[in-house]
Amino acid sequence: MSDTPILELVGVTRRVQGRDLVSDVSLHLRAGEMLGVIGPNGSGKSTLLNMMAGLLPPTRGQVRLAGQPMVRLRRQQIAQQLAMVSQAAETGERISVRDAVELGRTPWLGPLWPWSARDDEAVQAALQAVGMEQMAARDWSTLSGGERQRVHIARAHAQAPRILLLDEPTNHLDIHHQIGILDLVSQLSVTTVIALHDMHHALRCDRVMVMQSGRCVALGAPLDVLTPALIREIFAVDAQLIAHPAGRLPLFAFQRLA
């Protein structure tokens, strides 16, 4: 295995109308890890993910995908290696679940590379992975929010990427679906970057990056990074870490600062 990181950010900055949305962020993504990006609203999580996905060009710095500068790659080459699940991507079309998942094969197809049995397998595997194979014929408009998010993840899965980027995939979901989505993501054997704002969810990641005002203020193992002092500074709440009674991941107890 070579030393080339699967995805690398070097001093990446995104400046819009004189304001830095993301400022000087560097990162080596490790193959197979699950990286959580956490921070308050407006801290630059979405912008950072969009730059990782090559959807936004950095104003300064560079994003490299498997050693290649992202700006020199064609969109199709990027999409073959990297899939992105954005926040609340919606449609008014009368599209079926299978149709939506089949879209994931787009980077592998072209006018001269038609649909093949391999694509059918990828779609079937993706539907299975999210447990929706029974709902493949369902109309998009009849799905609940959690089901839609699962279909989006299945679409990204069908894309067969090496890296999966998820932008707050548990937003607007009830707790049952939140945990379901996170379980699903952690089962996918793929390098994952996931933007979150729930610190309990962050504890499940291999590493956590904490963002504040566009800057990376901490990066490391969840329990090393998410200290009461840092949480107090970033989120302006008093936090205490409490051991789980059954020995699972510890819990946070939050209190507003006096």
- Give min distance, CB of 241 to another protein, in A: 36
Nearer Cβ to another protein, position 68 or 77? Answer: 77
Q: How far is CA 205 from the centre of its chain?
A: 12
CB of 163 to another protein, least distance (A): 12
- Pick 117 or 175: Cβ nearer another protein: 117
When the beta carbons of 140 and 235 are compared against another protein, the nearer one is 140
Q: How far is CA 219 from CA 80, 91, 251, in A?
A: 28, 36, 20
- What is the smallest separation between the CB atom of 175 and another protein, expressed in angstroms? 26
Of the two residues 103 and 129, which places its CB atom closer to another protein in the complex? 103
Question: Where do we find the tokens 């949305």?
Answer: 21
Site residues for another protein per CB under 8 A? 50, 53, 55, 74-80, 83-84, 86, 89-95, 99-100, 102-104, 106-107, 109-111, 114-117, 119-120, 159
- Give how far the C-alpha of residue 74 lies from the chain's centroid of Cα atoms, to the nearest Å: 21
SS3 160: coil
Burial 234-258 (b: 16+ CB within 10 A, else e): bbeeebeeeeeeeeeeeebeeeeee
Residue 50 φ then ψ, to 5°: -65, -35
The distance of closest approach from Cβ of residue 156 to another protein in the complex, given in angstroms and rounded to an integer, is 8
Cβ distance to another protein smaller for residue 83 or 203 = 83
What are the distances in angstroms from CA 128 to CA 49, 62, 103, 134? 27, 37, 16, 9
User: What letter does residue 38 receive in the DSSP assignment?
Assistant: E
Q: How far is the CB of 217 from another protein (least distance, A)?
A: 27
